[in-house]
Amino acid sequence: MPDTPHRPHPAAPLTEQPHSLAAPLTPAAPHPAEAGHAPAATHTATRRHVVQGLGTGAAALALGSVATAPAAQAATNPPAHPASPTQTDTPRFFSPAEFALLSAACERIFPADAQGPGAIALGVPHFIDGQMDTPWGRGELWYMQGPHRPDAPANLGYQLPYSPQQIYKVGLAGVIAWVQQTHQAAFETLAPEVQDSILTALEQNATQFDALPAATFFEQLRSDTIEGAFADPLHGGNRHMAGWLMMGFPGARGDYMDWVDRYDTPYPYGPVSIAGETADHG
Amino acid sequence: MAEKTLPPVDVVVVGSGWAGSIMAKEMCEAGLSVVMLERGKRRSTARDGAYPSSLDELEGAVRYKLFQNPAQTTVTVRNRSDQEAVPYRRLAAFLPGAGVGGAGLHWTGVHFRAPPQDLRLRSHIIERYGRKFIPEGMNLQDYGVTYTELEPFFDKAEKVFGTSGEAYTVNGKPTGKGNVFAPDRSDDFPLPPLKDVYTAHLFRHAATEAGYHPYAMPAANASQPYTNPYGAQMGPCNFCGYCSDYACYMYAKASPNVNIMPALRRHETFTLRSNAHVLKVLLDSTGKKATGVVYQDAEGNHITQPAGLVILAAFQFHNVHLMLLSGIGKAYDPASNTGTVGRNFTYQNITNSTVWMPPTRNTDQFIGSAGGVAIDDFNSDNFDHGPLGFIGGSPLWVNQAGVKPIAGAKAATPGAPRWGSAWKKAAIDTYRHSFTINAQGSNMAYRDVYLDLDPTWRTSYGQPMLRMTFDWKDNDIRMNRYVISQLANVVKALGAQDAHYGMREPGKPFDVRDYQTTHLCGGAVMGDDPKTSALNRYLQSWDVPNVFVVGANAFPQGMGYNPTGLVAALAYWSAHHIRTQWLKGNGGPLVAL
């Protein structure tokens, strides 16, 4: 008797609540409060407010059309093909200057090399762009109430007032200005070795952008780059599962009954994605 | 926001995880009307564990789909009581669940019984090593219940959970398999052990060669199709590797949702309300009797649910939080070492070591289950602590529950590059050719490690947050370092190319930024003495006898094993005594003061 009460069952529903406060018993009919996304109007207004508060109102104007997290949309209505090709050109959250810096920095963190494609070919910058318009990107999965104690010991965890969106807005603006000041150029136009030295300086917390330590920005960027390289392609990165092919991860196969005790034999099957894409090489 | 009072019920159960589901089922079987209040959403395997959409590492393990959202409620943390605690703003070190099934929906499924000596650890240590062996400042205590008393309830829980494992002895008779340190059992496991994955197989052979005693870890992952005593069906585990952090799409991992809820829903006297965040337990004017609870619903209304019996079965620290907010029992005062609510807060002392096999060998870390291979040679008091001078121990194991690529790539190799081509190559090599050995150790209770209410930060419900004061102590650091030093013998026998030994570093404080484990314990512990325990041996509040508090909050100290098996057995133990004694009495204490 698995917990699938939405299936026709002679004895169901077994326990109707006696009053109107009860939430519905069947998971097939979720409570409205469980939908996970605010109505589009509220949601857009909230984000615009956040972005304007950071002094980048122009970027906000380009954002109004995104009402639902791409991930959630894809999960309920899987595309026949990975969504990435249609998203390649126009970032939704980042300005062109921000996106150019973001892309170049991701590529140095996860470069194209003998192991396989780099962050840009994997769609990582677009993945991060898409993640900005999710509950996580808006800071709805973090406790954001004050007072904030940014000087608390580091081992007690993140204490800044910034959501992920704000970390990127403040961090990218800061790096653009800092690199302009120190190198009189845009990051993405610099030689890879110079880009690496700048990223190393960020990693080692050589400066601060408003209240945002450079290292906090770098760690967010590094973490999100890894996620974009290896998350299921439905989130916009890991295009053609090339990240999984590099790692040797079979993706959403989810069944190793026939392989669990074939010890020390290379697993022969390529990855499969949630949308059903397959890759037979690697 | 409106206020409303509902018609009374016999029992209100706070929380829908393992503890709450077991208690609700038992109370319904006793013929009582039961309202279960769950602060999170409705959840089911059909929706939250659907294939293939639920096999999504980003949603499941990175964005924490099934977990508590700190934006709604979290805790503050500090290492010492002379510091200001600050909010745990982003989930990392520990991951409490939210939603129907609680952490029981997204746990891995490791299902142990408690070692008999751990249940009476204070008495045992004094008997074997003398009273002076207990360090100053350690609040070492007994549970007040013995393994023999709990054995039928461990057995019942294994049958409900469909647990796979290998017995060592059944009714005193050796089986020729199993863990030589395991206590005797009245019956075998309901299912045979899961197969060893490759890395567990390697560990089994190396541990044998090193002279230790490996065994198949007991796992509430069905190794075969199974129907439990409630009529709930489980499918066979196919080693998909999405155990911890996910709902099991194969219905192979035990969860309250799969193993108990279908039967619970058949009771006409049972009502489940989700999105119902309990704010406090209501007491009458004497403060000695609970009259029900008040909760906030999804619309922000405050609803009073009167009840004759209140069972707190939320996550460990939420139970303690509710007791403090409600004034049930006396809050712990570390200065005088008096009061019991918040006392003996413990964690689990886990460190992870990485072993690299030669590049010709693929470790297939993506294959996984809650099974694995462990040794108990350094767990509990299975070795002579006399010359070592510390209390506690740690099993060592390969418990490969499926390593996905984001986690694999983020795993840090100390001293190695963290980005760029060199890192990328190392991350790929590590994912393909390494594996992890965990030392999951005990954590003793200390006078200055405790829970209380924070003076500054509030939850989204406007209540003071719970404050954790926690740090690693010398006894536990030395225990971990000793056990890890013994791991070298196993690694040598593995033929490993390289190894990194993860161990506690003296002077390095508890760090909330790194995931460790969600096995938080204590804070409202059981025992025989109302001066040192908030609950009697039946998990009944000493102070308010129609309140029972069920969960790992009852453990006087943290053990090396995973807590769920003991939580489930204690729930059945408590329920048995409510049914056979408390309901037949006058509603008073089951243990005379």
Under 8 Å CB pairs connecting chains A and B tally to 284
Backbone angles phi, psi at B186, to 5 degrees: -85, -15
B512/A155 touch (CB, cutoff 8 Å), yes or no: yes
The strand pairing partners of B191, in sequence order, are B164
Tell me how close the Cα of A62 comes to any Cα of chain B, in angstroms.
26
pTM to 2 decimals? 0.90
Shortest CA distance to A203 belongs to which of A188, A213, A189, A190?
A213
Nearest CA in chain A to B430: A247
Chain B interface disruption, residue of A1, A17, A241, most B CBs within 10 A: A1
pLDDT confidence of residue A71: 37
3-state secondary structure of B287: coil
Report helix, strand and coil shares of chain A as percent, to nearest 5.
Answer: 45, 5, 50
Contacts of B21 (CB under 8 A, 6+ apart): B36, B101, B104, B256, B260, B261, B264
In chain A, residues with a C-beta closer than 8 Å to the C-beta of B257 are 3
Burial of B294 (0-12, 13-18, 19+ CB in 10 A): middle
Axis-axis angle for helices A164-183, A96-109 (nearest 10)? 90
Chain A interface disruption, residue of B35, B227, B265, B516, most A CBs within 10 A: B265
B222-235 burial, b at 16+ Cβ within 10 Å, e below that, comes to: bbeebebebebbbb
Structure tokens at B222: 């069905």
A254/B457 touch (CB, cutoff 8 Å), yes or no: no
User: 3-class secondary structure for B120-140?
Assistant: CHHHHHHHHHCHHHCCCCECC
Strands B302-312 and B547-549, by their bridges, are parallel
Tell me how close the Cα of B7 comes to any Cα of chain A, in angstroms.
10
What share of chain B has pLDDT > 70, as a percent?
Answer: 100
Query: How many residues does this entry show for chain A?
Result: 282
Rg (CA), chain A: 22
In chain B, residues with a C-beta closer than 8 Å to the C-beta of A252 are 52, 55-56
Tell me how close the Cα of A158 comes to any Cα of chain B, in angstroms.
6
Averages of pLDDT over each 10 residues, chain B, 593 residues: 95 98 98 98 95 97 97 97 98 96 97 98 98 98 98 98 98 97 98 98 98 98 98 98 97 98 98 98 98 98 98 98 98 97 98 96 96 98 98 98 97 87 96 97 98 97 98 98 96 95 97 96 98 98 98 98 98 98 95 88
Query: How many residues does this entry show for chain B?
Result: 593
Q: Are B67 and B94 in contact (CB under 8 A)?
A: no
Stronger pLDDT, B467 or A9, i.e. the higher one: B467
Shortest CA distance to B143 belongs to which of B116, B125, B111?
B116
A5/B265 touch (CB, cutoff 8 Å), yes or no: yes
Nearest CA in chain A to B229: A1
Contacts of B394 (CB under 8 A, 6+ apart): B349, B378, B379, B439, B440, B441, B442, B479, B480, B483, B560
Q: What is the DSSP letter of B521?
A: E
pLDDT confidence of residue B83: 98
Q: Nearest 5°: CA angle at B186, between B183 and B190?
A: 100
| pLDDT exceeds cutoff 70 at A81 | no
3-state secondary structure of A143: coil
Q: What is the pLDDT of residues A230-275, one digit of tens each?
A: 999 999 999 999 999 999 999 999 999 999 999 988 899 999 999 9
Give yes or no: B519 in active site: yes
Nearest CA in chain A to B259: A2
For residue B152, which amino acid is it?
Answer: P
Q: What is the pLDDT of residues B452-483, one digit of tens each?
A: 999 999 999 999 999 999 999 999 999 999 99
Nearest CA in chain A to B6: A19
Tell me how close the Cα of A141 comes to any Cα of chain B, in angstroms.
6
Shortest CA distance to B289 belongs to which of B593, B590, B516, B587?
B587
A23/B42 touch (CB, cutoff 8 Å), yes or no: yes
Shortest CA distance to B235 belongs to which of B17, B49, B414, B442?
B49
* B273 CB within 8 Å of a chain A CB: yes
Of A25, A110, A257, the CB nearest to B239: A257
Burial of A200 (0-12, 13-18, 19+ CB in 10 A): middle
pLDDT confidence of residue A88: 53
* B396 CB within 8 Å of a chain A CB: no
Residue B577 host element (H or E): helix B564-580
DSSP-assigned states of every residue in A37-102: S--HHHHHHHHHHHHHHTT-HHHHHTTTT--S-HHHHHHHS--SS-SGGGGSS--SSS-HHHHHHH
The strand pairing partners of B34, in sequence order, are B11, B270
What share of chain A has pLDDT > 70, as a percent?
Answer: 68
Contacts of A181 (CB under 8 A, 6+ apart): none
* B246 CB within 8 Å of a chain A CB: no
Q: Where does the pLDDT of residue A89 fall: very low under 50, low under 70, confident under 90, or very high at 90 and above?
A: confident
Write the Ramachandran bin of B541: left for phi over 0, alpha for psi from -120 to 50, otherwise beta. Answer: beta
A141/B87 touch (CB, cutoff 8 Å), yes or no: no
A2/B196 touch (CB, cutoff 8 Å), yes or no: no
B297/A21 touch (CB, cutoff 8 Å), yes or no: yes
* B367 CB within 8 Å of a chain A CB: yes
In chain A, residues with a C-beta closer than 8 Å to the C-beta of B235 are 2
pLDDT confidence of residue A280: 67
Q: How far is CA B334 from CA A81, B81, B133, B338, in A?
A: 60, 9, 22, 7
Of B6, B56, B362, the CB nearest to A274: B56
pLDDT confidence of residue A51: 35
- Alpha carbon distance A71, A130 (integer Å): 8
* B231 CB within 8 Å of a chain A CB: yes
* B272 CB within 8 Å of a chain A CB: yes
- Alpha carbon distance B69, B65 (integer Å): 9
Nearest CA in chain B to A72: B59
What CATH number was assigned to the domain covering residues B1-81+96-165+254-336+521-593?
3.50.50.60
- Alpha carbon distance A138, A259 (integer Å): 41
A249/B366 touch (CB, cutoff 8 Å), yes or no: yes
Tell me how close the Cα of B151 comes to any Cα of chain A, in angstroms.
27
pLDDT confidence of residue B278: 98
Q: Where are the domains of chain A?
A: 82-145+172-252+266-282
Q: Are B412 and B387 in contact (CB under 8 A)?
A: no
Place of tokens 């050109």: A89
Tell me how close the Cα of B256 comes to any Cα of chain A, in angstroms.
9
Q: Which one of the listed residues B124, B519, B576, B577 is annotated catalytic?
A: B519
In chain A, residues with a C-beta closer than 8 Å to the C-beta of B90 are 141-143, 157-158
| pLDDT exceeds cutoff 70 at A54 | no
In chain A, residues with a C-beta closer than 8 Å to the C-beta of B87 are 143, 145, 159
Q: What is the pLDDT of residues A173-202, one digit of tens each?
A: 999 999 999 999 999 999 999 999 999 999
B110-147 burial, b at 16+ Cβ within 10 Å, e below that, comes to: bbbbbbbbbbbbbebbeeebeeeebeeebbbbbbbbeb
